[in-house]
């Protein structure tokens, strides 16, 4: 239930939203797929980043018309994990990410992070952020279903002790924005994951900004006011 008078809590996606890691995920998936003999164009991989890995692999089997046995599915997931971590040293925080989180913290705006990544991969990204103590983080391991199901954002709101419908969800992918709608939250899209602006609007974005720095520059639009 939205509360009048207080700024909305923020639920942040991680990859492509706070850290510049989408393209490393894309290349790691493509490498893993290629190693398993699966040819999928790179742009099609890109458009799946941020969704549940399980759903990605389901869709992949349908699209390629090729059923994968449990061993192949495990090899793909492990290949992606290994390939991403090998590339993780080139990942940095997105412009304005730490500044945005610091401003929210200084103004008493609650926020949490909710990512489709498993704990180990998420930890490598979280290490790039200067998170104040006590910021809730929800990873893939903690929920039954990842994006575009709403579970991650519902769990993040629960950890903050707020209603999901009172929150802004900030994400770079259509999966974040679809999950936001499922959670009853308003979605803020960021171009920093490489989607087009219209793709984010079509997935239900309430507003679209370039990256965290651009969101910070327009923060009043979300109801977060400067100190009186």
Query: Minimum distance from CB of 107 to its own copies (Å)?
Result: 25
Residue 216, SS3 per DSSP: helix
Q: Which residues contact 43 (CB under 8 A, 6 or more apart)?
A: none
Residues in 35-64 at the binding interface with its own copies, rule: CB under 8 A: 39, 41-43, 46
Query: Minimum distance from CB of 56 to its own copies (Å)?
Result: 17
CA distance 112 to 152: 11
| Angle at CA of residue 23, ends 18 and 25, nearest 5° | 85
Q: Does 173 bind its own copies (CB under 8 A)?
A: no
In the structure encoding, which two tokens stand for residue 72, read together? 């192949």
CA atoms within 13 A of residue 185's CA, in its CB half-sphere: 33
Tell me which stretch binds its own copies (CB under 8 A): 76-84, 177-185, 196-204, 217-225.
Answer: 196-204
Residues in 87-106 at the binding interface with its own copies, rule: CB under 8 A: 90, 92, 94-95
Output helix, strand, coil percentages for the chain, rounded to the nearest 5: 50, 10, 40
Looking at the Cβ atoms of 132 and 196, the one nearer to its own copies is 196
Query: Minimum distance from CB of 136 to its own copies (Å)?
Result: 26
Q: Does 34 bind its own copies (CB under 8 A)?
A: yes
Give me the residues that bind its own copies (CB under 8 A), please. Answer: 16, 20, 22-23, 26-27, 30-31, 34, 39, 41-43, 46, 90, 92, 94-95, 191-199, 211
């Amino acid at each position: 239930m939205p509360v009048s008078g207080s700024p909305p809590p923020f639920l942040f996606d991680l990859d492509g939203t706070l850290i510049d890691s989408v393209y490393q995920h894309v290349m790691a998936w493509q490498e893993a797929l290629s190693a398993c003999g699966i040819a999928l164009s790179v742009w099609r991989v890109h458009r799946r980043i941020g969704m549940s890995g399980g759903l990605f692999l389901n869709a992949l089997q349908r699209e390629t018309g090729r059923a994968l046995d449990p061993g192949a599915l495990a090899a793909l997931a492990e290949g992606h994990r290994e390939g991403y971590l090998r590339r993780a040293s080139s990942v940095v925080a997105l412009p304005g990410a730490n500044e945005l989180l610091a401003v929210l913290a200084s103004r008493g705006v609650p926020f949490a992070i909710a990512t489709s990544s498993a704990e180990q991969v998420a930890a490598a990204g979280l290490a790039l952020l200067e998170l104040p103590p006590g910021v809730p983080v929800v990873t893939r391991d903690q929920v039954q279903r990842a994006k575009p199901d709403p579970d991650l954002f519902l769990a993040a709101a629960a950890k903050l002790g707020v209603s999901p419908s009172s929150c802004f969800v900030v994400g770079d992918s259509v999966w974040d924005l679809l999950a936001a709608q499922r959670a009853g939250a308003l979605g803020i899209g960021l171009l920093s994951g490489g989607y087009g602006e219209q793709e984010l609007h079509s997935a239900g974005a309430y507003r679209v900004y370039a990256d965290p720095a651009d969101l910070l520059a327009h923060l009043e639009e979300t109801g977060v006011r400067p100190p009186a």
